[in-house]
């Protein structure tokens, strides 16, 4: 009932060229007192936040006999950055943000934490479809990250590991070389991919438990999801599969359906992304959950009332506690999340639900296995590692297991694991890798770059799409 009432009102304003008349956050929508749905609301654990850790304390004296290594896992959504000696990386939004109500400044990376009103933010992102295309923006974010405000990098004494996506375009790679060596003057550089680092750490951590002949890394991030099979530590490029669904598509889709069904939130990427992280989950019984979501009252254990922040009294969006349900405070804005809670993350498994004609991540695992040597496939199947921000969606690992188990040959074991922090895992892996005896030989020094240019970089880094190793 509430749905349709809301529809008639919300739609009227949305369709005639997004008039902002009755949209969030300007005017509270009077929520009907019909909402008696008292449910057992279990408030989900909030997403892991950037740990404000202590600055890297590398004393100049130490630098004389040991160079510092900075690890920059440069994701399209967030960059994870810190020295190999730090316990945790800083997680920096990889963007420049403008706030509607703050006209005197812009916010670079995590400076957005200084902004009190996070409604109607405008984003400038250096990445397009997962690839670094706008250096005007990226340079500002990197300048900030390397400054005393974040990492205080002494470029002359620092080796840096930078990650990039698989099949990165050569000219983007060259831009990274040039910026690292010529603009910042780092001492040496190693370029790699987050899944390659993850595989390295995963292998090392599990070394004692027996043969890790193959690892299949499922990295589901902001722009897309990659399935990367490894033979030992070597990515098998001809069998890498990319699904063009990531956290950004999920948030945009959620914005779209909420704006159509309930409340105009098209400008509220930040707020809706937070809501996604707070209440969305991956269903392991999709049809059953759809049935439950149809039920009225207490029988509907799926629905959640999500109170939106107004940034004056309510600083952060949250699920309305069960004891408050039914009571609606006149000045609150609320979104009722029902089937959206699980139908939105469903796009990772069924991109065709929104017309993206690609396999989802489970089916892609099977496709990926069909592209590798038959002897390797069972090893990969039994050793799947899930990383990236979407791995935090509750139920994702269980659903992957369920799907893959149903599609794989009965004779093979299926093993899927998720690290405790799937966002920072590649960064930690970079710390481990920097201590590997082979690591120095895989870096290009500033001197080598000056001598041989981009060629030596494409030889040493395992990033080009054509070279086999």
Partner 1 sequence: MADKRESVRIKDGQQLRILDEAARRRRQRKALEALEQDNFSEDPHADLKMSKKAPKFEEVMETASTSGPKKKRKSRGDFKLRYRKSFAALLEEEHMLNKDGPSYVTACAPPSKFPDRHFCAVCGFPSAYTCVQCGARYCSVKCLGTHQDTRCLKWTA
| Residues between 91 and 120 with contacts to partner 1, criterion CB under 8 A | 98-100, 103, 106, 120
Nearer to partner 1, 232 or 294 (CB): 294
Nearer to partner 1, 128 or 211 (CB): 128
The continuous run of DSSP H or E covering 248 comes out as helix 247-261
Least separation in angstroms between CB 55 and partner 1: 26
One-letter-per-residue 3-state SS of 136-166: HHHHHHHHHHHCCCCCCCCHHHEEEEEECCC
Least separation in angstroms between CB 350 and partner 1: 6
Identify which range of 107-115, 166-174, 186-194, 443-451 contacts partner 1 by CB under 8 A: 166-174
* Per-residue contact string for residues 440-459; x = within reach of partner 1 by CB under 8 A: --------------------
Q: 80 and 107 in contact (C-beta within 8 Å)?
A: no
d(CA 287, CA 268): 30
Least separation in angstroms between CB 112 and partner 1: 15
Nearer to partner 1, 128 or 156 (CB): 128
Q: Which residues contact 220 (CB under 8 A, 6 or more apart)?
A: 226, 246, 247, 348, 361, 386, 387, 388, 389, 390, 391, 396
Nearer to partner 1, 342 or 433 (CB): 342
Residues 254-313 that bind partner 1 (CB under 8 A): 255-257, 260-261, 266-267, 269, 290, 293-294
Nearer to partner 1, 85 or 402 (CB): 402
Would you count residue 136 as binding partner 1 (CB under 8 A)? yes
Inter-axis angle of helices 194-205 and 425-433, nearest 10: 70
Nearer to partner 1, 138 or 332 (CB): 138
d(CA 263, CA 256): 10
Identify which range of 84-92, 144-152, 247-255, 318-326 contacts partner 1 by CB under 8 A: 247-255
Least separation in angstroms between CB 254 and partner 1: 11
d(CA 402, CA 396): 10
Residues 178-217 that bind partner 1 (CB under 8 A): 178-179, 182-183
Residues 316-345 that bind partner 1 (CB under 8 A): 339-340, 343
Nearer to partner 1, 205 or 353 (CB): 353
Identify which range of 27-35, 354-362, 408-416, 433-441 contacts partner 1 by CB under 8 A: 354-362
Inter-axis angle of helices 396-407 and 361-370, nearest 10: 40
One-letter-per-residue 3-state SS of 370-419: HCCCCCCHHHHHCCEEEECHHHHCCCHHHHHHHHHHHHCCCCCCCCEECC
Least separation in angstroms between CB 182 and partner 1: 7
d(CA 456, CA 449): 7
* Per-residue contact string for residues 44-83; x = within reach of partner 1 by CB under 8 A: ----------------------------------------
Least separation in angstroms between CB 88 and partner 1: 28
Using CB under 8 A, count the residues that bind partner 1. Answer: 79
Q: Note the helical H segments in 22-134.
A: 60-65
Pick one of 50, 231, 356, 456: the residue that binds partner 1 (CB under 8 A). 356
* Per-residue contact string for residues 220-239; x = within reach of partner 1 by CB under 8 A: ------x----------xx-
337 backbone dihedrals φ, ψ, rounded to 5°: -90, 120
Q: 127 and 94 in contact (C-beta within 8 Å)?
A: yes
Identify which range of 41-49, 135-143, 201-209, 439-447 contacts partner 1 by CB under 8 A: 135-143
Exposed, middle or buried by CB within 10 Å (0-12, 13-18, 19+), for 2? middle
Nearer to partner 1, 201 or 248 (CB): 248
Pick one of 19, 26, 53, 170: the residue that binds partner 1 (CB under 8 A). 170
The continuous run of DSSP H or E covering 78 comes out as strand 78-83
The four Cα atoms 399, 400, 406, 412 give a dihedral, to 10 degrees, of -140
Nearer to partner 1, 110 or 403 (CB): 403
Residues 402-441 that bind partner 1 (CB under 8 A): none
Nearer to partner 1, 82 or 221 (CB): 221
d(CA 358, CA 382): 24
d(CA 85, CA 88): 9
Least separation in angstroms between CB 93 and partner 1: 13
Least separation in angstroms between CB 459 and partner 1: 17
Give the number of other CB atoms < 10 A from CB of residue 256. 15
Pick one of 81, 91, 160, 240: the residue that binds partner 1 (CB under 8 A). 240
Q: Which residues contact 198 (CB under 8 A, 6 or more apart)?
A: 217, 219, 385, 387, 419, 425, 426, 429
Give the number of other CB atoms < 10 A from CB of residue 101. 10
Q: Which of 6, 4, 14, 17 is nearest to 264 (CA)?
A: 14
């Amino acid at each position: 009932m509430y749905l349709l009432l809301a529809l008639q009102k919300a739609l009227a304003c949305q369709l005639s060229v997004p008039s902002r008349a009755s949209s969030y956050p300007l005017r509270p929508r009077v929520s009907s007192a019909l909402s008696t749905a008292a449910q057992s609301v279990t408030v989900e654990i909030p997403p892991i936040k950037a740990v404000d850790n202590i600055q890297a304390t590398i004393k100049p004296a130490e630098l004389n006999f040991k160079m510092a290594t900075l690890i920059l896992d440069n994701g399209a959504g967030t960059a994870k950055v810190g020295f190999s000696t730090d316990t945790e990386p800083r997680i920096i939004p990889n963007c420049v943000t403008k706030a509607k109500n703050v006209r005197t400044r812009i916010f670079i990376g995590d400076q957005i934490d200084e902004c009190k009103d996070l409604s109607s933010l405008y984003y400038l992102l250096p990445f397009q479809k997962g690839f670094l295309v706008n250096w005007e923006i990226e340079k500002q974010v990197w300048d900030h990250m390397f400054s005393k405000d974040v990492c205080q990098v002494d470029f002359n004494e620092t080796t840096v590991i930078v990650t990039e996506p698989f099949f990165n375009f050569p000219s983007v790679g060259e831009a990274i070389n040039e910026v690292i060596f010529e603009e910042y003057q780092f001492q040496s550089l190693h370029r790699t991919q987050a899944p390659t680092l993850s595989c390295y750490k995963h292998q090392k951590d599990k070394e004692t438990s027996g043969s890790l002949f193959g690892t299949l890394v499922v990295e589901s991030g902001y722009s897309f999801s990659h399935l990367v099979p490894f033979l030992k530590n070597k990515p098998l490029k001809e069998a890498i599969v990319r699904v063009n669904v990531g956290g950004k598509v999920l948030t945009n889709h959620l914005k779209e359906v909420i704006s159509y069904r309930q409340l105009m939130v098209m400008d509220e990427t930040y707020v809706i992304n937070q809501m996604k992280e707070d209440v969305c989950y991956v269903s392991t019984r999709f049809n059953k959950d759809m049935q439950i979501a149809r039920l009225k009252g207490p029988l509907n254990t799926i629905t959640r009332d999500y109170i939106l922040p107004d940034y004056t009294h309510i600083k952060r969006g949250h699920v309305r506690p069960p004891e408050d349900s039914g009571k609606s405070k006149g000045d609150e804005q609320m979104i009722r999340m029902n089937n959206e809670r699980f139908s939105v993350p469903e796009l990772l498994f069924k991109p065709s639900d929104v017309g993206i004609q690609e396999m989802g991540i489970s089916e892609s695992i099977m496709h990926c296995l069909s592209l590798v040597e038959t002897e390797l496939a069972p090893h990969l199947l039994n050793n799947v590692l899930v990383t990236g921000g979407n791995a935090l969606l509750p139920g994702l690992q269980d659903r992957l297991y369920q799907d893959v188990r149903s599609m794989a040959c009965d004779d093979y074991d299926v093993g899927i694991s998720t690290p405790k922090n799937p966002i920072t895992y590649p960064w930690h892996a970079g710390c481990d890798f920097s201590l590997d005896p082979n690591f120095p030989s895989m870096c290009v020094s500033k001197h080598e770059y000056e001598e041989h240019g981009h060629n030596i970089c494409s030889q040493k880094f395992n990033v080009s799409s054509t070279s086999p190793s």
